[in-house]
Amino acid sequence: MLNVQGTTISMTRGDTAKILLTLTQYNDTPYEPVEGDTIRFALKRNYTDARTLMKIDIPAEIPLILHIKPSDTKKLPYGSYKYDIQLSRADGTIDTFIDRATFTLTEEVE
């Protein structure tokens, strides 16, 4: 089961998730990635933890889709995590457009 409420994600461990992301610039126009942009999802147990548990590169193309595969979560313990998503633009600008958001893994029936 996948549930997305704003930036809060809850999903069943070992499932597949494809989440549509939208980026809006300060002038309220959609941001369209250009060649050389990179977008990365990073997950940690909490923000004081030095170890990143999951990193996923999101293709910098429209539509922006965060694709979480079953193998990405299958071995993680159930519970609550923190994640962010960062855009690194080709010109060197870095923008963490989702920061300190909650990601919850729920139990699956095996």
**Confidence band (pLDDT; 50, 70, 90) for 25?**
confident
pLDDT at 48: 87
Its pTM surpasses 0.75: yes
In DSSP notation, 3-36 reads EEETTEEEEETT--EEEEE--B-TTSPBP---TT
**Confidence band (pLDDT; 50, 70, 90) for 13?**
very high
CATH number where 41 lies: 2.60.40.10
Provide the domain limits for residue 77.
2-106
Give ∠ CA 16-63-57 in degrees, rounded to 5: 60
SS3 assignment, position 63 = coil
Question: What total number of domains does the chain contain?
Answer: 1
Q: Which of 67, 66, 61, 65 is nearest to 32 (CA)?
A: 61
Residue 101 reports pLDDT greater than 90? yes
Range 88-105 average pLDDT: 95
Question: Which two three-digit tokens encode residue 10?
Answer: 């809850």
pLDDT at 109: 78
> What is the distance, to the nearest Å, from the Cα of residue 80 to the centroid of all Cα atoms in its chain?
14
Task: State percent of the chain over pLDDT 90.
Answer: 84
